[in-house]
Each structure stands twice: as structure tokens, then as C-alpha cells.
Homo-oligomer: A and B are copies of this chain.
């Protein structure tokens, strides 16, 4: 089931700038019967992205009302929200008064192997690079061809994720996840000033780490930094935390992960709150 500007339909105009130019944003939210996870973070990021792209944000109450219509008791499910600049003629110039399109979709929750949470995942290195653009960095916009090409580099179902660099060889993250390295008592995560996405779980890691007395540094990270790290893990809203078991041929020690932090981050990522807490 899906709603486009509040109407139950699976169709959108071919003149929508989301299709023509990727002129829009999206969010992917894990939802339990009791409500959505990290809901405030998702709504905040959507609004920050809309501000960056100068797309008017729909009122939160409007989104909440539509989420209530979409909500399913067959939990957990995935709510995908798209917000585009809406219709427009041919040409890049946006209408002076855009009428955004909001699309809410319900998907089944992904069925990743449970072992990936517990025993970690195997990663590969992707050849596809991320272009740098500070104006687009951090937000979850609809220009995702780089991720599509990178994800197309492997079909082996044993490989859970691929890591991507920018053009200067700096590791930025996975095709769909943020990366954290563990170096003693310090967590290091790639800076996302020129590309990459400011993940909702990523920000919770940074908050919880501070509470746990762990230092977190946002830094330029090379592939060799990962290879030398004590441990590593990935985060996103649907996976929570995946420990890294192996990157290419290099094994990682799950025993050196900050267990208490990871437990708390998982709880933060997987515990539903109310729709109204947003």
C-alpha cells in the first residue's frame, strides 16, 4: 500500500522532478506494531534535507496522519517516505512555488540472516567512487546512481555490504550504511562533509558513545586505517549494528568491539517510540 499526496495509489506523474532529475529526498524507517524507530531523527533529517534543497516540508501532522493510515499490524515493516519538488516543465529551473510530492510506501522488513547481527558480516571493497559535493553531502537525496553501481559490483549473497571511497581514496561508508572503526578506546567514523549520508543510527552512536565515555572522531579514513583497526561495525536504520567479521581477506576480532555501546545502539535503533514523539 502507498499514499501519494494522501491518495491511495502506486502511480506518480512522469513530470515529477523526482523522476526527471532525482530532485528530492527519502527516508527509510523501521516500524514495529508499537510505532516507528528513530522517528524524530528521520523527520529531522528529512526536514534538514528539504531545507538544503529548498523544497517546502510538509507539516509533520500531515505525515503523521498518513502514517497512521499506512500502519500495519504485521510488524515489523519498513516505511519509505519520498519527498520530491513535485511537477515542473522541462528544464532544470524549479518552479518559483513548488508543490512537492510526498510518497509514503509500506515495504516488508528485510530478512537479513540473523547471524549477521551476532557473528558479523563480510564486506568487500567497491570500485565505484563517490563524487564530492558539499551541498549534497549528508542529506538523503534521490541521486543514488553511485550506490546502485557500487551495489551492482557483487552478487555473492555471503557479502553483506560493500565499502565506497571518494575520488581521493577516502573511505566514506557502505553503499547503504555508515562505518565505524574501533581503535582502542576511540571510535573513528568517516567525515561526511563532501559526500556520504548522516545516518540516523550514526548520530545515535555518537551520542551513546559520549555517554559511555568513548571518544568519537570524525576523520578522513583510508582503506589502510580500516585494515589496521581493532574492530569495525556498520550501522543503518534497518540493520541497527552489523559487526564486521571480514573485509576482503582481512578478518576482524568481534571481541574488541565495545559491547555495551553496541547493545545500547541496537536498543536505540530497534525500540519503537510513538508516532507523536517526532
Distance in angstroms from A4 CB to nearest chain B CB is 7
When chains A and B are docked, how far (Å) is the Cα of A11 from the Cα of B12?
5
Whether A12 pairs with B22 at a CB distance below 8 angstroms is no
List 7 A-B pairs, Cβ < 8 Å: A17-B148, A53-B145, A53-B149, A129-B135, A131-B132, A132-B132, A135-B149
| CB neighbors of B among A17-51 (8 A) | 17-23, 26, 28
Whether A19 pairs with B19 at a CB distance below 8 angstroms is yes
Whether A145 pairs with B90 at a CB distance below 8 angstroms is no
When chains A and B are docked, how far (Å) is the Cα of A20 from the Cα of B142?
6
Interface centre among A90, A105, A128 (most CB of B within 10 A): A90
Residue A229 is within 8 A (CB to CB) of chain B in the complex? no
**A: number of interface residues (CB 8 Å):** 64
On A, residues with C-beta under 8 Å from B are: 2, 4, 9-23, 26, 28, 53-54, 78, 80, 82, 84-85, 89-94, 96, 103, 105, 107, 110, 128-136, 141-152, 155, 167, 175-176, 194-195
Whether A148 pairs with B23 at a CB distance below 8 angstroms is yes
CB-CB nearest in chain B for A105: B14
Instruction: Out of B28, B133, B167, name the residue touching A194 (CB < 8 Å).
Output: B167
Whether B133 pairs with A146 at a CB distance below 8 angstroms is yes
When chains A and B are docked, how far (Å) is the Cα of A151 from the Cα of B85?
14
When chains A and B are docked, how far (Å) is the Cα of A54 from the Cα of B131?
20
Whether B23 pairs with A15 at a CB distance below 8 angstroms is no
Given contacts A11-B11, A19-B84, 7 further A-B contacts (CB under 8 A): A11-B12, A18-B19, A22-B144, A85-B148, A92-B144, A92-B150, A129-B134
Whether A90 pairs with B80 at a CB distance below 8 angstroms is yes
